Amino acid sequence: MTSRRAARPEAAMRTARYRAGSAAVASPAGPLHRLVDTFGIETVLLAAVDVQGRLKGKEYDAAWLVDRLRSGRLAPEMCGYVIGTDLGMTAPRAGSFSWESGFGDVGLLPDILRARVLPWLPSTAVVLADPVSEGWPHPLAPVTVLAEQQQGLAGVGLTAMVGIETEFVLYSGTARDATAAGWRGLRPAVWDNRDYALDLPTPVREFSRRLRQVLAGAGLPVEAVKGEGAAGQLEVTFPYGEVTAMCEQHVLFKHAAKTTADQRGMAASFMAAPSTGVGSGMHLHVSLHDVDGRPVLAADPEDGTVLSELGEQAVAGLLTVLPDTAPLWAPYVNSYKRLQPHSFAPARFTWGRDNRSCAVRLVGHGRSLRLEVRLPGADANPILALAAVLAGVRHGVEASLKPPPATRGDAYLNREALPVPQCLAEALAAFETSALAGELLDEPVVAHLARVARLDLDHHAARVTDAELERGLTQA
């Protein structure tokens, strides 16, 4: 595997690249100074992606930031705990980013040549930055974890492409309204099952139209938006592309969806199970290609639906590695309440041809043959979920693994297949003790992500829920 240290960033090189460009900006993505001049940008979000897949950073005055970056006089930093805390930004007691460590800063390496206008915010652009430590990519940052797996896959002569489908629930009333009501009383914006429906209520149609508009304005066009099976549930599908770019797209999409909903007096929730019996998934459509860019999953790349030998190895690797890496694709206590039988979310580690009851669904044909990994929920960070997927593919190819027979019919009834973890505690125990996870991801990464997952466990451990009161208040 190529070392992280193979491409040490240098401030002088960044400044030289920044000054070099001269082509006119014809799109909402490009060198920051051109976007500021062309689109009248006043505010720049300098942001890294945290463990949960959210944008974290600072707002800068655009003119001030351009001046500092041009001159090389800015070396941005943020508190390192941003890549070491849970959903509620809980400060851990020990570990790399903790009270024990003193909460030191991490450096940020901004990609100033790939800034992007954010039309859902007035006169605003974003510059994404990678966390660094002494000039090197920070080994515990999600983007570094994924980059390591991409390099590992390249080591066996493969690259991956991905298309992401994400479901979420749209509510009438904002998150502020929900907070004021004690997180009760939010009503789904659609009151019944409108799966594939083209008669969605007007507020939902207008939200969908606006979301597509602002994403297209950011150079992130949506392939489709559709109603889903639960009340208020929508699914957004993007065209497929290079793994890192698609992860960036997804992070910005979630930011746009939440902002656009709030602007319209609504709330968009990406919880895996926002209510009992409702599950929102994130489906990862993964294809594999050789060093010449040729697809390699199909035995007959022109029109086949049968897996090649390498395709079978990839499936076998996924079914071997994903059980040990669940905290990367199901990171919270709530995540496991989605993974229920006959819910359209997997309950067993199975694979099958065009079978939505399986964890890995083989879909498409010929050059479009791909593996749809249906395990992650909408709450997953796609950067870490795809790191687990690529690690699985690589392991399957390196070890020349063979998959079990494809499941036909109801995969929930396949008792020979390993069940998915029932809870985060079970998943975490397997993750922390897995020699395979430590080998593929590196032991410090496993320890770090396990520590973050344990914060979510600790948060829920002593809390009394409505369900407990309903069941036990008078009967216990």
Q: Buried b vs exposed e over 244-280: b needs ≥16 C-beta within 10 Å?
A: eebbbbbbbbbbbbbbbbeebebbbbbbbbbeeebbb
pLDDT computed for residue 244 by the predictor: 96
pLDDT computed for residue 13 by the predictor: 37
The pLDDT tens digits for 349-369 are: 999 999 999 999 999 988 899
pLDDT computed for residue 26 by the predictor: 52
| Calpha distance 399→277 (Å, rounded) | 39
* Closest of 309, 150, 336 to residue 243, by C-alpha: 150
Q: Which residues of the chain fall short of a pLDDT of 50? A: 1-25
Which residues, 6 or more positions from 103, have their beta carbon under 8 angstroms from its beta carbon? 79, 80, 81, 91, 97
pLDDT computed for residue 186 by the predictor: 79
Alpha carbon dihedral 36, 39, 40, 46, in 10-degree steps, equals -40
Angle made by CA atoms 435, 438, 442, in degrees to the nearest 5: 160
DSSP helix/strand/coil, 152: helix
DSSP helix/strand/coil, 465: coil
Judge whether 360 and 407 are in contact, CB under 8 Å. Answer: no
* Closest of 203, 430, 213, 472 to residue 336, by C-alpha: 430
Q: Which two tokens stand for residue 392?
A: 């699985």
- What single DSSP character describes residue 227? E
Q: Which helix (H) or strand (E) holds 37?
A: helix 32-39
pLDDT computed for residue 14 by the predictor: 40
Task: Provide DSSP, 23-34.
Answer: SPP-SSEE-HHH
Helix 243-263 to helix 382-398 angle (10° resolution) is 160
pLDDT computed for residue 246 by the predictor: 96
Q: Where does 306-442 have alpha helices with state H?
A: 309-321, 326-329, 382-398, 424-433, 435-441
| In 96-205, beta strands by DSSP E | 105-110, 115-117, 124-133, 136-137, 159-172, 187-188
